[in-house]
A and B are shown apart, each in its own frame.
Chain A
């Protein structure tokens, strides 16, 4: 009888784990992504455009107890220059240790306080006038080596443009609680970029400052940005001011954006931005955005 009870215990444990299983792809494979739906206008409310700005679907493959892992993200954008779908991060990584890892594939540039994906932004738009992304690089194919500890991180990325090498160097300091300081240098046959940013969190307040310098030869960008985000429970408000020269024009851009996290995977915001650009004149933009992540 004791054997029967032991047998029962072992077998029922197997059944129990099956009976309670959630919808899982596999132990090693997970899927994630988000949908970014937005309405935005330029200059007047009569010109509001609504669209699914992006639908991103990613798969992360991380076998247990293996130093190898892979990530594949596909982004579907609404009419982005005729390319409806494109790769974002598509990488194979090898973790040599907890601190050191090597990656090959389509990798996001180290540049930028402002995240590439909408899920990482404090507001709807980028800091350049007319919602322009001010960084000289985003996704590109190459190899990288990254080293990270609790106090700092460092990385080098090497890619190729035409027949020449393209390089990015990255250093980040996080040794003081709440403080993140980052420096990035990029050297490419078509540009040279310096990017410095620092952010500091004190209780509900986040302060950030950024400097971007892109030398494209014929044109040189030089942009300064200040941002303040204040969290009030699930709500928050962002104030941003950016100024400098971008695309050959001096500009000032002011943004205010209240936001609300409806849950861990639903986030909405409103944005008002005002541009004052030399030669091009003034412009006002409004936006409403709802993001659902999964």
Chain B
């Protein structure tokens, strides 16, 4: 129940953030912006930690309700870890399909932009290159759900075909 209340508060805070984000923009100074940015980063880190704790707590609760005969006590720890990993893995697959390393191994030089997007999903950034033999740069950016580690993958194209691949360091 305690976990459930925590989670409701977290959900309300998220909804509040979404609501505030729809309000008309106001001018802020650079210093105010930097300060806000720092606060947001700190909140994000706390949020991530809370989410991980919640997942572990819920998984432990789920395992705790199972009959003693179903799961041996010594296996419960690894089962909780397994549940948490599965949840994080599903979350990552849903939000960042390109974070699956296997997908990057299928990318080949000469592939079209459309084929790359079909495999990895839409890039975070699609930018032109000033290089005379590269004309577009697709960048995928995000943070690993489990570790919050920032990862980035880059693919460069020339005349619609892949010429350079920089897979993300997972």
Contacts and interface: CB of A to CB of B under 8 A. Distances in A.
A261 B156 CA distance: 14
B73 interface: no
B152 to A, nearest CB: 10
Nearest to B61: A1
A234 B132 CA distance: 9
B44 A267 contact: no
Nearest to B7: A8
Contacts of A119: 128, 130
A12 interface: yes
B51 A12 contact: yes
Interface in A28-42: 32
A5 B137 contact: no
Given A264-B134, A265-B127, A5 B87 contact: yes
A4 interface: yes
A1 B47 contact: no
B130 A22 contact: no
A287 to B, nearest CB: 17
Interface string B140-167: 0111010000000000100000000000
A19 B87 contact: no
B5 to A, nearest CB: 13
Contacts of B10: 11, 15
A2 B130 CA distance: 52
23 contacts: A1-B62, A8-B87, A9-B91, A13-B94, A17-B95, A19-B44, A19-B48, A19-B143, A20-B95, A20-B141, A22-B124, A32-B127, A32-B128, A122-B132, A204-B133, A231-B132, A259-B132, A261-B130, A261-B131, A264-B127, A264-B131, A267-B131, A293-B130
Q: Which 9 A-B pairs have the closest CB atoms?
A: A267-B130, A261-B131, A264-B129, A1-B62, A20-B143, A20-B142, A19-B44, A264-B137, A231-B133
Given A4-B4, A15-B51, 16 more contacts: A1-B58, A2-B62, A9-B87, A13-B91, A15-B14, A19-B47, A20-B96, A20-B141, A32-B128, A119-B130, A236-B132, A261-B131, A261-B132, A264-B127, A264-B130, A266-B130
Interface of B: 4, 7, 10-11, 14, 17, 44, 47-48, 51, 54-55, 58-59, 61-62, 65, 83, 87, 90-91, 94-96, 124-125, 127-134, 137, 141-143, 145, 156
